[in-house]
Amino acid sequence: MSAVQYIVEGGHTLHGTIRPAGNKNAALPIVAAALLTDQPVQLLNVPRIRDVEVLVELMRTTGASCEWVGQNELHVHAREVRAEQLDTALCARIRASILLAAPLLARCGTVTLAPPGGDVIGRRRLDTHFHVLQALGATYELGDRFRFDARTLQGADVFLDEPSVTATENALMAAVAAQGRTILRNAASEPHVQDLAHFLNAMGAHIEGIGSNVYTIEGGRPLGGARHTIGPDHIEVGSFIGLAAVTRSTLRIEQAGVAHLRSTLMGFERLGIRCQIDGDDLIVPAEQERRIQSDLGGHVPKLEDQPWPAFPADVMSIAIVTATQCDGMILMHEKMFESRLYFTDKLVGMGARIVLCDPHRAIVSGPTRLRGGTVESPDIRAGMAMLLAALCAEGTSTINNARQIERGYERLEQRLGALGARIRRVELSAL
């Protein structure tokens, strides 16, 4: 596969309307959950991004039919599936490969998976997946591959040792197939987890407590086909708020899913960026205070991520770039992943005033005038943050390893280009 780089000309004001794509982190478990039924499933507003494409390839290796109908509609029909060893290379390309554990275990009674891949943003433990599936009646073996077995899954009262999003999703899929009642406590409740639960209910499951951290599932009900539209990606909305802020542009983000944006909007307000709500649209005005709001008594404020419904971890990289263009000083505390803040050295090279205190904390002092440069995209969210930095910087920037960004964002050069951004996508021949 050839490498991709973005050539970005910074310093241009943007304008217009943009619509967020379907939620990447909802699409992945929902596509996997289509394996739970032998009936046809129609999925709409599916983001056509690399991670989803890889998962679709993996699904096909199980014998499921997966066909794209138009740009963002995917039809899945898992009439018969097999759970033989899945392609190691494909599993290693995405973390979402672990989401096949529960549905294949439910359909086949066994599944063997290679360790999943994904962003390198620190250790991302899988222990909770194993503990939850074990509590529901599965056994597992560890080694170069993970093997799960379960003749039958049984409902149980389960307390997750951490509110892991993907472990909660695996637990929900296993619980709807299990016999009897399951209660999941300390579960994740992000918008994408809620979307999966709504999809499972549309298939015939019975899940209560959606949106809370305690789910009650009446398992063992027959699951049929469904037609489901994936909700908007609130992380992409946060990226577009940051885009408007750093380029000093007025943008309308339509069908933004404002019901899920409270913590995101509060976080940007701390940076002096305020948005207007118009129905389900969000308007980011060009005229902003852009002054970081001090804590009471004039103390240096802190913006920190936490499990939902607090400020999302995946928006932290965007918020850091935004803070470089705001007046004042702020401590950014990334609690979730210990390697996510290392990308800030690239911003420092562009002229940002950032002190990386430790793997979890960085002090940002702004505003600073950024300069174009050659940088690398280390992961999806940091890559998008570097793109925002390049768009507001003076001069031209080159972003290498841009395929990382495309794992989570669809057709960026076209969609942002329609707003006036100058981004050229270049495919480099493989050596």
Query: What are the residue numbers of the active site?
Result: 119
Contact present, 257 and 47 (Cβ < 8 Å): no
Task: Please tell me whether the peptide bond between 29 and the residue prior to it is cis, using omega within 30 degrees of 0.
Answer: no
Q: Rounded to whole angstroms, how far apart are CA atoms 152 and 174?
A: 10
CA–CA distance, 29 with 343 (Å, rounded to integer): 28
Q: Amino acid identity, residue 289?
A: E
Which among 104, 105, 112 is positioned nearest to 137, based on CA atoms? 105
- The rounded Cα 8 to chain-centroid distance in angstroms is 24
Residue 53: CB partners within 8 Å, gap ≥ 6?
Answer: none
Three-state DSSP state, 251: strand
Whether the CB-CB separation of 190 and 25 falls below 8 Å is answered with yes
Please give the full DSSP string across 125-184, using - where no structure is assigned. --HHHHHHHHHTT-EEE-SSSEEEE-SS-B--EEE-SS--HHHHHHHHHHHHHSBEEEEE
Answer yes or no: are the C-beta atoms of 294 and 329 closer than 8 Å.
no
Count Cβ atoms below 10 Å from residue 342 Cβ, excluding itself: 17
For residue 13, the tally of other CB atoms under 10 A from its CB is: 14
The answer to whether the beta carbons of residues 310 and 333 sit under 8 Å apart is no
